[in-house]
Structure formats: structure tokens, C-alpha cells
Structure 1
């Protein structure tokens, strides 16, 4: 049973799923906008919002948590410098998901996820 399990399984084992979400989060924070499937974008939204929340906090413990999750060390330092002034008036909802056309090969629903 998966009752009350919030993280979508994305049809892969836990270690692959966690690595995928880490790499997607790193790419989103670096690029600002990425194209992926709709299910992956919805799963990515929670982790990306958490990383931005840690950057808004700005404490040493938050920085260490972000360094343990995001693959790029320089990206984390840039994130902690830029985020507090960019999202100071927002309480949440730092990402936006825009649906696009279905993928041609298998018909998967595609989406663009971007930082607001």
C-alpha cells in the first residue's frame, strides 16, 4: 500500500528516482527553465521549492543541506546570494509548470517547469 506516500514513484527504484530528482533540481536552478515530462515536473516542484526555501533561510545549516543535495557547489553559493532579494516577498510557489504538446515517440505529456 502507498497510503499517504507523497513522493510519486515515477516507475523507477528509489535510488534512481532520488538521483533523477537531484539532477533535475540542479539543472532547473542552473538554467531557470527545463523541459521534462509532466509527472517529473510535478515531483521536481517540491524539491526545487525546498532548495529555494533553504536559500531564503541563509543559515549555515541550510547551506550545508543544500550542498548535500545539489550537485554543483558553485551553483549553491550563487543561489544563496541571489535568492533572498529575488524571492523576499514570496512565501512559496517559486516554480511554474506549463503544459506543452505530447512527446512524439511515446505520447507522454510534456511540460516546461520554470522559476517564477
Structure 2
């Protein structure tokens, strides 16, 4: 039974698991594109370890450097983390990593993925910016175009109404100015005599 099982042991002893996760953290920080390829289970375990380390790197002090080195055990990774990564993620209040699933491994069918630092994936950042700009731009354009169109419609309606009123006024003036015409009495109907029909025998 799964009583009080808080985390994935990954089939390893405590020392083996800690060493493996420390190496994975260092690999993630030192890789040029800040991305590593691993299984989903390891990536989820790594996420819980690397995110608190990145948060500690926001404060560049001797104490925080010692705490980070205690976990990573890699001087190059600590230097990279405090010099470059901490500057890049300074404004982000958490959620520094992203897991992208890539399918299953051929040998044992294990689910595989990339785990990467969010702020280093330039393509996804560009797409996000373009999408957000597109939404705001569209709404602004819509507001700008709707106002003149409605104004034009109102003016056209008003112009039509004025035109109709003017025509009615002109017709009434013409009718009032015209002299009264008496109706002509109908002429009596003239009866025409029909020619007598000859009886044919």
C-alpha cells in the first residue's frame, strides 16, 4: 500500500538518488540550451530539487552560495547559476522549469521528456509575446473600427430621415399652392341602339 509515500524513490537508495539528482541539476544548469533529456519520473523528481536551488540563487550572498553548493557539489554549476541564470529569472516568482513529453522509449517503453528552464526557450517566448500582442492589437483595432462605423451609420440614417422630411415638406407646399380643381361631372352614358338581328330560317 502507498501509505505516507511523499516522493518517488526511483528504485535507488537515498545516497544514490541524491547523487543522481545533484548531477542532473548540474547538467541542466551547465547545458548550453538549459535543457536535458530524461524520463518523466526523473524529471518530476528533478523539478522538486532544482526549483528551490534556483530560488536561493536570487540572493547572491556567501550563505546562499554555500547552501547551493551543498546540494550541487559542483563549483562550475554554482558559478553559472549565480552569474547568468539568476539574472535571467530574476522577475519570475517560481515555475522556472518546464517538462515537455516526447513519447515512449523504444527499449522499455518508458515515457520520455525534455526538462528545460522556461526563460531560455526563445521560440516559445516569441510565440507567447506574439499571441499576447495579437490579442491586444485585435481588440484595439476592433474598438477603433466599430466607433467610426456606428457613427457613419447614424449619420447616414439621419441624412435619410432629413431627406424624406424635406421631400414631404416640398410635396405639401406644392399641393397647397396649386388651385383647387373641381371634379368633372361624369357624362351620361349614351345608349347605342343595337341593329335588329335577322332571323335566319
Name which of structure 1's ranges 5-14 and 105-114 shifts more when overlaid on structure 2: 5-14
Name which of structure 1's ranges 35-44 and 47-56 shifts more when overlaid on structure 2: 47-56
Q: 2:111 aligns with which of 97, 103, 109?
A: 109
Alignment correspondent of 1:64: 66
* TM-score for both structures, normalised by structure 2: 0.54
Is the radius of gyration larger for structure 1 or structure 2? 2
Higher helix share: 2
Alignment correspondent of 1:29: 29
Cα 1:11–1:2 change in 2 (3 A) is farther
SS in 2 for 1:66: helix
Alignment correspondent of 1:6: 6
Cα 1:84–1:22 change in 2 (3 A) is closer
Cα 1:78–1:36 change in 2 (3 A) is same
1:32-88: CA deviation from partner (whole Å, max 9, x where unpaired): 100100000000001111111111122221100111221320221221112332112
Structure 1 alignment gaps of length 5 or more? none
**Is the 8 Å Cα contact of residues 56 and 83 (structure 1) preserved in structure 2?**
no
SS in 2 for 1:107: coil
Alignment correspondent of 1:84: 86
Alignment correspondent of 2:76: 74
Name which of structure 1's ranges 66-75 and 85-94 shifts more when overlaid on structure 2: 66-75
CA distance in 2, matches of 1:15, 1:71: 14
Alignment correspondent of 2:52: 50
Superposition deviation, residue 113 in structure 1: 0.2
CA distance in 2, matches of 1:14, 1:86: 32
Moved over 2 A (4+): none
**Is the 8 Å Cα contact of residues 95 and 113 (structure 1) preserved in structure 2?**
yes
Structure 2 alignment gaps of length 5 or more? 119-201
RMSD: 1.4
- The count of aligned residue pairs is 115
